[in-house]
A and B are shown apart, each in its own frame.
Chain A
Amino acid sequence: MNVRQTTVWRALNTALHDAMREDERVFVMGEDITKWGTGGGIYGVTRKLVDEFGEERVRATPISEEAIVAAGVGAAMLGLRPVVELMYSDFTLLAMDGIVNQAAKAHYMFGGQFSVPMVLRTNGGAGIGKAGQHSQSLETLFAHIPGLEVVLPTTADDAYGLLRASIKTENPTIFLEHKALYTTKGPVTGEILPLGVPAVRRTGTDVTVVGTQQGVLRSLAAAERLSDAGVSAEVVDLRGLYPLDLDPVFDSVRRTRRLAVVHEACGPYGFGGEIVSRVVEACWSELDEAPVRVTAARSPIPYSEVLENAVVPQVDDVVRAVLALVGDRHAVSGA
């Protein structure tokens, strides 16, 4: 396998090219996806698609989130495979009827007659100063809705493999990219990855740190520092919230006997609560300590960098939380 380094945005772009070449039913639509910047949306993900596939299958839309998503649902019910892009996940809130009342329920409410194999691509997350209405982490909102799949790619390989898989599933999928990770690089194998399988990003023995996207990367950075202090952290990337096979997390916690969950959304009612709950149900007798959550404050995302960093969990926050979890027997210089 020829494994090359590529950015997340380009991996996504390649995935769209490959999916559209392979399956005529795949088409993309969204705001500014053909003529912005270098010709492919604000983060380049749809770059040059229109050159290869034309304006019928690569459709630049007016700013009409509700209609775009609803049209995606209707087209999917007739057997097409729309990949709908909304520029920021915050804009999905204008399209919630199509997502929650129509897409998520059409298969169920009509007794299995229809499928909605639509992918709604958008990006969430903070970190680049986009402030309150362009930086939210809304994954838990979607994960709570029966009928939706929620995918959260971290690496370039995930970006390619999980987007291909999301386009192939029969269910409506909310594919939430992270806006701060588009230009990060990694190897891409070109394999289509199964949905719902967490990846162990770093092995360790003292604590299991579970997260998604930026939470994973910050946990990995924290794990480096913890390692200097003699704490061995295992980092597990969920890669999505539904479907989700938590067995790798349970297996890990049974070995490390401690759990921390890291996420960028605010803590109360966030997915950390669900992960902790499931782990406690499955591994109660094997836990040495009560699990902890490292999450954003219950606050909108502020603009100024110092404020944004204060709200969203940073590497230091993960280090501190893990040290508290493993107890006094470890001391970290500079933490």
Chain B
Amino acid sequence: MSDFTFLAGPGVKALYDMNLIRRFEQRLGRYSEEGLIRGSTHPAVGMEAVAVGVSMALEPQDSIASNHRGHGHCLARGADPARLLMEIFGRAGGYSRGKGGSMHVGIRELGILGTNGIVGAGIGLATGAALAHRLRGTDGVAVAYFGDGAINQGVFHESLNLASIWKLPLVLVCENNRYAQSAALSDMVVDDRLERRAAPFGVPATTVDGMDVEAVHDAARTATSRARKGLGPELIVAETYRFLGHMVGDTEIYRDEAEVEQWLKRDPLTELSERLIAAMVLSRSQVRDIDTDAVNAVDAAERLAGLEPFPEAAEAVENVYEVTR
């Protein structure tokens, strides 16, 4: 059940952020066809509510570590869509100066320790960031975003244990979109109630409807406030779905169209929009305006990114090592 305070406050901003991610991610396929993107690009269409719901619970001093499907995590945390797109286009003005691309977007000023090409690696990095917050005596927390595939990597289990014995301010956000690339979760685990993996480590866990931004936000607020109080890590399993393939070019032979259709009915943007309208926070035309604003923002980002020059070839061997001051 929706809370009016949420809808009238963060709910409107959440709708904009979710639209921004949606509009941004929807264009990646075309950019790829046009040759603007090289390599692998993983859109998070359908999963917007998780990134946005979690980000709204974060403070400026907090850290996040993301994964290969990370544009949404960055945008929800306040990344400039133009600089993000420049990175995906391999341009000089990209956050990582064209050296990282989609899978290696780091944004230091936003506490983003990178999207990552290794699906579970962010869990380990976020554990270390949480340790750093603890050792510095701040109340910062670290969030790791990862999928249902990463939950089968050793680093998940090792980090969960480490963070638990040390009561680190860590929030683990498992975006369970039911497929690890082409592998259905049900084929790769015996018990698909992933939150049960936390109990053996003494870590509380909760499963939330990942299509409901308010539910995600509530869970993230609970977990971050526990973490800030020094009560240790928490696992949030957000049940979600990716509306597009694993990556641009995915043939999607591993899932039924009927299943996709079922999930499309749970579009997180539609759900939030309808609630905002029902609560009379926004009119239908205001909802459309918010989407238009998002489209305009992505248009502007696209223009800027398209005009941005490529890096100089000589930069290729810069930043391998840092000169010690």
A111-127 residues with Cβ-Cβ distance < 8 A to B are: 111-115
A residues whose Cβ falls under 8 Å from a Cβ of B: 27, 56-57, 59, 61-62, 64, 66-80, 82, 97-98, 101-102, 105-115, 146-147, 149, 168-171, 243
Known contacts being A64-B158, A74-B65, A97-B155, is A107 close to B132, with CB within 8 Å? Answer: no
What is the distance, in angstroms, from A213's C-beta to the closest C-beta of chain B?
A: 23
**Complex Cα gap A115–B158 (Å):** 24
User: Which residues of B are found within 8 Å of A114, using beta-carbon distances?
Assistant: 106, 108, 113-114
Q: Is B40 positioned at the interface, with any CB of A under 8 Å from its CB?
A: no
User: Which residues of B are found within 8 Å of A113, using beta-carbon distances?
Assistant: 95-96, 106-108
Would A66 and B106 count as touching, CB distance under 8 A? no
**Complex Cα gap A146–B318 (Å):** 11
Minimum CB distance partner of A165 in chain B? B324
User: Which residues of A are found within 8 Å of B128, using beta-carbon distances?
Assistant: 70-78, 82
Q: Is B256 positioned at the interface, with any CB of A under 8 Å from its CB?
A: no
Would B321 and A68 count as touching, CB distance under 8 A? no
Q: Mark B104-142, 1 if CB is under 8 A from A, else 0.
A: 111110000110111001011111111111111000001
Would B132 and A110 count as touching, CB distance under 8 A? no
Known contacts being A67-B158, A107-B319, A114-B108, is A74 close to B95, with CB within 8 Å? Answer: no
Known contacts being A56-B135, A71-B124, A101-B117, is A112 close to B97, with CB within 8 Å? Answer: yes
What is the distance, in angstroms, from B279's C-beta to the closest C-beta of chain A?
A: 40
Known contacts being A111-B96, A113-B106, is A101 close to B322, with CB within 8 Å? Answer: no
User: Can you list 21 residue pairs at the A/B interface with Cβ under 8 Å?
Assistant: A56-B135, A62-B158, A64-B159, A66-B154, A67-B155, A67-B162, A70-B127, A70-B128, A71-B125, A71-B127, A74-B63, A74-B124, A74-B130, A78-B132, A97-B124, A102-B125, A110-B105, A110-B108, A111-B96, A168-B324, A243-B321
Would B124 and A110 count as touching, CB distance under 8 A? no
Q: Is B307 positioned at the interface, with any CB of A under 8 Å from its CB?
A: no
User: Which residues of A are found within 8 Å of B121, using beta-carbon distances?
Assistant: 70, 97-98, 101-102
User: Which residues of A are found within 8 Å of B322, using beta-carbon distances?
Assistant: 107, 112, 115, 169-171
Q: Mark B74-102, 1 if CB is under 8 A from A, else 0.
A: 00000000000000000000111111100
Minimum CB distance partner of B154 in chain A? A66
Would A74 and B142 count as touching, CB distance under 8 A? yes
Q: Mark B39-69, 1 if CB is under 8 A from A, else 0.
A: 0000000000000000000000001010000
Would B324 and A77 count as touching, CB distance under 8 A? no
Known contacts being A67-B155, A70-B155, is A108 close to B108, with CB within 8 Å? Answer: no
User: Which residues of B are found within 8 Å of A79, using beta-carbon distances?
Assistant: 132
Q: Is B6 positioned at the interface, with any CB of A under 8 Å from its CB?
A: no
**Complex Cα gap A283–B108 (Å):** 45
Would A66 and B104 count as touching, CB distance under 8 A? no
What is the distance, in angstroms, from A184's C-beta to the closest C-beta of chain B?
A: 29
